[in-house]
Amino acid sequence: MNRISVVIPTFNRPQYINTTVDMVLRQTHPPYEIIVVDNGTEPCQLEQAFPDTVRLYRIMSRAGAAQARNFGACMAAGEFIAFLDDDDIWEDQYLEKIQKVIDEDKPDLIVAKLDKLLNGKVLPFKNPINTPRISGFIYQNPGYTGSSVTIRKSAFIERGGYDPRFRNGQDKEIAINFLMSGKKIVHAPEAQAIIRLHADERLTYSNSFITTARLLREKYPEMYNSYIYLKSLRQALTKPKQTPLKDKCAAVLLKVCLGLMKPFYKRK
């Protein structure tokens, strides 16, 4: 049986971290270990009653969630790493259901069903499809977050881990990374992760969405351009009324998609 290490990055959330660790310890399928990585401005304090399988590491303040997760992954001894944000929630059978998917499907990345906790109520949020496509990540996130993703450690290290340039959208980026490299991504629809939505995060999310989109375009220019070409081609060919100019544009786009003409972007 593959061992699962749980990595929890934390930043100035003393009101949540001990409850979160205790929740993981109550899982019906216990993790091999729990690694808490603190990058806050105030040192994190864990309950002394926790077993030796819970380890706390402190890294540079404000290093960011990506660096904290990468550090935790490097320190982990398990074959798989289940990431969990310090204020989020797993159902009691979460790791048991993830382990079942690992045993049956031999994946490189598993993504669970994602619900949200808002005003004290658990509400449906996102339920990723089992056969993800790159186009589904272009201008949205189908449900990949820091608390719903479990990754094979060897694949995580091979692909370079989380990109620290992405302050948000790190799981979206690593999913694209895995898809483009042919890694196997599997959905675990029975495993439930729950994220807390905080009202003060909405403006930050709006701003970070723009930054994430820009970084993705810079890192994966061919993916974005190919998607734009295909979307434009579909629109051009499916509209009932065509002008001569649109007919010519559609013909050019078709040649690009078939490889008969070079696209307009430059390779780096």
pLDDT (tens digit per residue) in 138-194: 666 677 888 999 999 999 999 999 999 988 889 889 999 998 899 999 999 999 999
Whole-model pTM: value is 0.82
pLDDT at 207: 59
Extract the tokens encoding 24. Answer: 């993981």
- Range scoring the smallest mean pLDDT among 74-88, 185-199, 250-264: 250-264
Summarize the confidence of residues 221-225 as an average pLDDT. Answer: 75
Sign of the four-CA dihedral 247, 249, 250, 254: positive
* CATH 3.90.550.10 corresponds to the domain 4-219: yes
Percentage of residues of the chain with pLDDT beyond 90: 56
H or E segment and range at residue 80: strand 80-83
pLDDT at 256: 52
CA dist 192 and 95 (Å) reads: 10
Summarize the confidence of residues 224-235 as an average pLDDT. Answer: 63
At residue 96, the 3 state secondary structure works out as: helix
| Residue 184 contacts residue 108 (beta carbons within 8 Å) | yes
Residue 90 has pLDDT above 90, yes or no: yes
Domain locations along the chain: 4-219, 221-257
Those residues whose C-beta lies under 8 Å from the C-beta of residue 149, and which sit 6 or more positions away, are 82, 83, 109, 110, 111, 112, 171, 174, 175
3-class SS letters over 158-190: HCCCCCCCCCCCHHHHHHHHHHHCCCCEEEEEE
Q: Tell me, rounded to whole angstroms, the distance of Cα 234 from its chain centroid.
A: 29
Parallel, antiparallel, or unpaired: how do β-strands 89-90 and 33-38 relate?
unpaired
Summarize the confidence of residues 59-86 as an average pLDDT. Answer: 96
Percentage of residues of the chain with pLDDT beyond 70: 75
pLDDT at 184: 95
pLDDT at 100: 98
